[in-house]
Structure 1
Amino acid sequence: MATGFFWDERTFWHGGGNYAFTLPVGGLIQPLAAGGLPESPETKRRLVNLMNVTGLMGELDVRTASEASTEALLRVHPQSYLDTFKEMSDNGGGELGLRVPFARGGYELAALSAGLSIAAVEAVLTGDVQNAYALSRPPGHHCLPDYPNGFCLMANIAIAIEAAKAKGLAGRVAVLDWDVHHGNGTEAIFYERDDVLTLSFHQEGNYPLDTGALADRGKGAGEGYNINLPLPAGAGHTAYLHAMDRVAIPAIRDFAPDIIIIASGYDASAVDPLARMIATADTYRQMTHKVKDLAAEVCDGKLVLVHEGGYSEVYVPFCAHAAIEAMSGSAINLADPFGVTFEVRQPGARFDAFLIAEIDRMAEELGL
C-alpha cells in the first residue's frame, strides 16, 4: 500500500491577520509570505513544490480532507472555546491566547488542519494506506483544550486520536513529539490517562518556559504515561539518534500501541531561527526509519506523521522531504544541499559524549 499524503492549499492561507501589517487579510485576500507570524506558509508550500519537482509527490496517495466536525472538536475543546473562536473569526480575527493570532476565517482553517490529521489517522487505522503524512497548518501540539498558544489553535493530534477512538479504531496510541518545543498541549490533554503515551523531545528551557520537565510523568491513571526528554541546546544528529534508541523506542515498544503518531516539527534543524539545535535532514530521515521499523514490529506498520513546527523556509522542505522518503520507502534519496555545511557544525566528540551521558542519565531516571 502507498503512503498517504494529506494536504490542502487553503491551510497555507492561514495568517496572523493585522498582527504585524496594516493590510487586511483573510477571506479571499491571501496573506503575505509571513502573514505577521514566524509560522510561515512558505515552509509548507516550498515542501509541496519540492516534492512535485523531485517526483516524490507522484509516489504518494495524495488526498485532502473535510473540516473536522463540531462533534470531533468537542471531544477535546469545550463549546465555550469554540464559540469564542468562531465569533472572533467571523468578525475579522484576533488573538485568543499567547502568540496565536488569526485572520478572518481562521476557525475554518484550523478545523481543516485538524480534519487532515483525522483523515490521515483514520486511513492508516482502517488499512486504506500503510502510513500517512498530514501537512496540517496551523499546527496543534501547544493548544490546550481552552487556551491556544504557540501558533496552535486546535489540538490536531489529540482531536484525531479521539475521533479514532470514537469509531473504535484504536485503543492505545503512542505520540512521539520531536518538535524542538515541548508538546505541552498534547501532554495536558492526556496527562491523566493511560491509553495514550505522550513522549516529547525538546530543547530545555525554550518554549513553553514552564513545562516539559523530566519529572512530569503524568497523574492518576496517567502516572508513567508521559515522558519528557529536555535536551541541552546544541544537541545534534548523534544525540537525537541516541535519544531515539535509548528512550523513544524502548518506551513505545513497552507500551505496545495500536498506532504511532509523530508530532513532526523540523525546528531542531541547524538553521531554525526559533531554536538552538543542530539536527539535519538526515537526522529526520534516520529517526523516521527507526520509528517506521518500530511500527512494523509493534503495530503492523501503522504510523502517521503530523506536521508541526519548523521555521526555516529554506531548510524545512529538505528535512520533511527526507522524512517522507523514509516512511514511503522512496528510492529518490534526495541529496541535502546543506549537508556538508551542517556536518561540519555538528558537536565535537566531547560534547556528544556529554549529551549521550545526559540522555542515559535521564533514561535511568525514567526507568528505561
Structure 2
Amino acid sequence: MPDTGFYFDEHCLWHTTGEHALIMPVGGWVQPPAGAGHAESPESKRRLKSLMDVSGLTAQLGVQSARPVSECEMVRVHSSDYIERFKALSDAGGGNAGLFSPFGAGSYEIAALSAGLARQAVFDVLDGTYQNAYALSRPPGHHAGRDGSMGFCLLANIPIAIEAANAEKGLGRVAVLDWDVHHGNGTQDIFYERDDVLTISIHQQSCFPPGSGLGEERGAGAGTDCNLNVELLPGAGHQSYADAMELLVLPALHEFKPDLIIIACGLDANNFDPLSRMTAHSGTFAYLTCAVMKAARDLCGGRLVAVHEGGYAEAVVPFCAHEVIATMAGIKSDVEDPFRGVAEANQPPADFVQFQRERLETFAAELIAD
C-alpha cells in the first residue's frame, strides 16, 4: 500500500467558466477546449496529471476518486440560500454567485465532487489508509464564503472536509496552512471565531481580495489568536518563504499542536504566474512541503493533507505541484523543471530579502508581546 493518496477525477477538469467548444456550450459531454481563455483553466491540472503519468509518479500513489459532498455537508459551512442560488444558476446554464467566480452548466455537481475529493483525502488520512494525501480539487475553494462564491472558488472545499470530519470522525484540532499567493479569506472568515481550527495564510500583500489578509486580523471571540496572516511584499522569493516558515508558521503550528495539518496548496507564487508578482519556484514548494511534513511528524503522527488551490501559469504549475506530491510520497523524481533556473536567477537582491526578514521578525516579536 502506498503511503500517499492522490485524489483525482476527470470530471473536475470539465468545470467551465462559460466557454464554448465550436458552437456548443461547454457542459454535459462537451469538454472544454485546451485554450480555455479564463485564468482558471483546466489545463494546468491536466498537464500536472499527464506529467505525473509520464514520470511514473502516479503509479506509486494510491489513486482514487470520491463521492460528491451532499447538500447536508455543504450547509454545515455555507448558507442554505447560497447553495440554493448556486444550484439554480448551475441548472439554468451558469452564472456568477459572487465576485469573479463565473461558472457554467453542471458546475454545482462538479464543485460538490471537488469538495468530495478533499473530504475523502481527509477521511482516509485520519483512518490511517494513507500517511498523507493530495487532492487535485477543481474548482478551488479558499475564497468561497458562507454566503457566496469568490475568486474562482464555488465551495469551501477544506472547511467542508473539516466539518465532515468533525461530524463523523471526531477530528479535534486542525491547522490549515494556506500558501496560495492570494489571501485565504474564505477559510479565515469561516473559522474566525473558532479555537479548534488554526488558519494561517502566507500571501502577497494587497493582492487579492483587496484590503484582506492584514496581520492584525488575529481571530475573534473564542478564535482570538487562532488566525495568522503572513504578508509578503511583491517580489518575495524562495528565502522570504523560508523565513516566513521559520519565524512565524512553524512556531504557530508547534504552539497550536494540531491533530491534522491541511495545506491549501496554491502554486501561484511561482515566478511566472500572471496573477501575482512573486518569484518562488518548484524548489520553494518542495522546501515548504518538507518543513510542514516534519512539523506533522512531530505534532500529529505525520497526518497531512494537501488540497489544490490556485496557480495560473499552465506550463509551470505542473512542475511545482509534481515537486509537492513527490516530496509527500518520499520519491526522488527524475523530472527536471526547466523553469526553475530562470526563477532562481530572478530572485530579489540581498537587501530586499533582509528588509523582508526584518519585517517578519518585527511581526513575530509583536505576536509574542501580545
Give the TM-score taking structure 2 as reference length: 0.97
Query: Where does residue 271 of structure 1 map in the other structure?
Result: 272
Q: CA deviation at 1:149?
A: 0.4
Instruction: Deviation per CA, 1:308-357: give whole Å up to 9, x if none.
Output: 00000010000000011111100225322122211110111111111111
Q: Which residue of 2 aligns with 1:156?
A: 157
The question of whether the paired residues in 2 share the 8 Å contact of 1:90 and 1:104 is answered with: yes
- 1:207 and 2:211 are equivalent in the alignment: no
Rounded Cα–Cα distance in structure 2 between residues aligned with 1:95 and 1:19: 17
Please state whether the residue corresponding to 1:87 is helix, strand or coil.
helix
Q: How many angstroms apart in 1 are the aligned matches of 2:22 and 2:203?
A: 31
Q: Name structure 2 gaps, 5 residues minimum.
A: none
1:27-42 matches, within 5 Å, as: 27-42=28-43
Residue in 2 that maps onto 1:135: 136
SS of corresponding position for 1:367? helix
77-86 or 195-204, larger mean C-alpha shift: 77-86
Alignment of 1:111-190 (within 5 A): 111-190=112-191
Per-residue CA deviation, residues 181-206 of structure 1 (Å, 9 max, x unaligned), is: 00000000000010000000000010
SS in structure 1 of the partner of residue 201 of structure 2: strand
C-alpha spacing 1:333/1:201, structure 2 compared with 1 (3 Å) = farther
Distance across 2 between alignment mates of 1:283 and 1:110 = 29
Aligned AA (1:103)? G
- 8 Å CA contact 1:125, 1:169 repeated in 2: no
For residues 280-309 of structure 1, what are the alpha-carbon distances to aligned partners after superposition, in whole Å with 9 as ceiling and x for unaligned?
A: 100000100010011000000000000000
CA distance in 1, matches of 2:34, 2:198: 36
Change (3 A) 1:102 1:21: farther
Q: What amino acid maps onto 1:157 in structure 2?
A: I
1:1-368 equivalent positions in 2, closer than 5 A: 1-18=2-19, 23-332=24-333, 334-367=335-368
Q: What per-residue deviation string (whole Å, max 9, x for no partner) do you get for residues 138-192 of structure 1?
A: 0000000111100000000000000000013411000000000000000000000
Shift of 1:7: 0.6
Query: Tell me, which stretches of 5 or more residues in structure 1 are unaligned?
Result: none
- 2 CA distance for matches of 1:210 and 1:23? 39
Query: Following the alignment from structure 1 to structure 2, what is the Cα–Cα distance between the partners of residues 365 and 161?
Result: 30
**Counterpart Cα distance in 1 of 2:20 and 2:162:** 32
Contact 1:143 1:185 in 2 (8 A): yes
Deviations 1:88-126 (A, max 9, x none): 111111111111111110100000000000000000011
Instruction: Confirm or deny: 8 A CA contact 2:198 2:227 kept in the other structure.
Output: yes
Query: How many residue pairs end up in the alignment?
Result: 368
- The alpha-carbon distance between structure 1 residues 226 and 20, as it changes in their structure 2 partners (threshold 3 A), is farther
Kindly report the root-mean-square deviation, in angstroms, between the aligned alpha carbons of the 2 structures: 1.5
